[in-house]
Homo-oligomer: A and B are copies of this chain.
Amino acid sequence: MLEEASAELFLEQTYAGTTILQITRRAGVSRATFFNYFAAKSDLLWVDVDAGLAGFPVALEECADAAGRTQAVDTVERALLQVCAAFGPGHVPWALTQYELMGTAGELEASALSRFMAQASLVTRFTGARMGPGSELASRAFAMAVLAAAAAAAGVWARTGVNRGALATYVGAAIAPVCAGYRSTHPGVDAG
């Protein structure tokens, strides 16, 4: 209910130009109610992304089971693409469009980084558990690098016009070199 109101207002006035009060007024509720449904104004930008990201841990486990003796790097790569498959050319998340639209908007960047780091911790734990001890640096670096590449791809994808195609295509191309690099540098780790 609040999502629809905010979507309208973001189109009319952009994210930064819209206040929580305006959103709640249009939705016919009070300002206080807003925070019963969203912890922050910026959460509105991420509903789609968060929904997709919610499937990432699951996809990670699935891919780990499915893949026989492939490396953890491959598992992450596959799980990432699986999550991206949910995003076709149609619905670009608000977060991406608004980011291109107004670059530096404080809250947007804060919310983006917090989500990024959450996923990074997930991947770090996953690969860290599958590489020996003393691999914190490699795990964390790989996690953040591969997710950054994916984020870069999402940005390019969003910037591209209507015929942008599927997100997974972009992400696949972007993360492949990163995965290749870590595969050859830290070889022979099973995912099972």
Show the binding face of A for B, using Cβ within 8 Å. 104, 106-114, 117, 120, 136-138, 140-149, 151-153, 155-156, 170, 173-182, 184-186
B-side contacts of A147, CB under 8 Å = 148
Given contacts A106-B110, A110-B113, A145-B146, contact A152 B175 (CB under 8 A): no
- Known pairs A138-B173, A138-B174, A140-B155 / 18 extra A-B pairs, C-beta < 8 Å: A109-B110, A113-B113, A136-B156, A137-B153, A137-B170, A141-B149, A141-B152, A141-B174, A142-B149, A144-B149, A144-B152, A145-B146, A145-B148, A145-B149, A177-B182, A177-B185, A180-B185, A181-B184
**Bound state CA distance, A61 and B110, in angstroms?**
31
Chain A to chain B contacts (Cβ below 8 Å), 30 pairs: A106-B110, A108-B110, A109-B109, A109-B110, A109-B113, A109-B117, A110-B110, A110-B113, A112-B113, A137-B156, A137-B173, A140-B153, A140-B156, A141-B148, A141-B149, A141-B152, A141-B153, A141-B173, A141-B178, A144-B148, A144-B151, A145-B145, A145-B146, A145-B177, A147-B148, A148-B149, A176-B185, A180-B181, A180-B185, A181-B182
B-side contacts of A137, CB under 8 Å = 152-153, 156, 170, 173-174
**Bound state CA distance, A155 and B137, in angstroms?**
9
- 8 closest Cβ contacts across the A-B interface? A181-B181, A148-B148, A141-B174, A177-B181, A177-B185, A144-B148, A109-B113, A110-B110
The minimal Cβ–Cβ distance linking A188 to chain B, given in whole angstroms, is 14
Among A106, A110, A173, max chain B CB count under 10 A is at A110
Chain B minimum-CB-distance residue to A169: B137
Given contacts A112-B113, A148-B147, contact A180 B184 (CB under 8 A): yes
The minimal Cβ–Cβ distance linking A43 to chain B, given in whole angstroms, is 13
